[in-house]
Amino acid sequence: MGIFNKIKESLSKTRDSINDKLETVIKTFRTVDEELFEELEEALITADLGVNTSLEIIDRLRSAAAEKHITDSKALKGELAQILKDILKEGSSNELNVFGLPAVIMVIGVNGVGKTTSIGKIANMYRKQGKEVVIAAADTFRAAAIEQLEVWAERAGVRIIKQQEGADPAAVVYDAINACKGKYVDVLLCDTAGRLHNKKNLMEELKKIHRILERELPMGGKEILLVLDATTGQNAVQQAKEFKEAADITGIMLTKLDGTAKGGIVFAIKNEFDIPVKLVGLGEGADDIALFDPDEFVNGILDLSDEE
C-alpha cells in the first residue's frame, strides 16, 4: 500500500467523525443561512476541533460565503476545506528542520503516548533514507524506556548512547554529541523524560539539555518534537499547553492516528498554540510513519480528491 493510501486509510475514523457530520448538515440545509452556520459550528465542536477553533473557522467561512456570494450549501465544503488547510499552513512550517551534521531532534511527551516507539520509527525512517542516526537514551527516569530504545535501535540498525537508570540526562546527551562529532552522523535523536507532575524540574532538565546542544552543536538544525496520542482528544490539547510552557516546542508527532476519530485536535493545537504537526504515526510497524501534509490530511478527512 502506498503512503498516500495508508494515510487516507488511517484517517477513516476521523473522516467518519468529521465528514459525516458536515455532510448531514449540508444536505439538511440547501441554502446558506445563519442556522446552517450554527449547525456547522456544532458539528466541528463535536468532532474535537475545539470551541475557539470551531468559532474561528465558521467566522472565516461566513465571511467567505458573503464575499463570494455563495448561496448553495454544497459549495461551502470547498471553502471549508481551504480554510482548514490555511489554518494548518499559517505561521510555523510543517517541514522538519533537519540540516547539519548532525541535526538534532529532541523528543518529549508523557509516558504512554508512544514516545519511545516514535523515536524508533523516526530512526528507522532516516536510516532507510541512507542517513547515519544516533539515539541518546536520555529518559533515564525509566529503565524500561532505555531497554525499549535498545530494541528499536537494533531493529533500525542505529547506534544508541545510554547510561544507567537515574543518570543525568544532560550527561547522556553530552556523551551522544561526542559520539557524533567527526563521524558524519546525520541525525541525533534525543529521548527525554515525560514527567509533568513537576513541571519546574522538567523545564530545568530540558533547558540544561538545550544549553548543551547550543554550546556543542551551534550550527545544526534543531527540532523539539512533542509526541501526542491522537486518541486522547482534548487531553492532548492540554498536554500541548503544559509542555509549551516548559519547552520551546517546534512541532508535534501525532501517534495512533489510525485508531481514533479525534484527529480534529490537529486544528485546535495548531490554531491555539501555533505548533505544527510534522509527523504522524499510522500503525504499530516500524514503517508506519509519515511526514505530515496539510493538503493530504484535509482531503483525507473531508473525503476530497487531490484535485479539489
Binding residues: 109-116, 191-195, 255-258
**Residues contributing to the annotated binding site for GTP:** 109-116, 191-195, 255-258
Cell numbers placing 261: 476519530
Residue with grid cell 542516526, as numbered in its chain: 133
Beta bridge partners of residue 188, listed in sequence order: 104, 134
Q: Long-range contacts of range 19-22, CB-CB < 8 Å, 24 or more positions apart?
A: 19/301, 19/302, 19/303, 21/46, 21/47, 22/77, 22/80, 22/302
| Strands 187-191 and 289-291, bridge-based pairing | unpaired
Q: Are 202 and 148 in contact (CB under 8 A)?
A: no
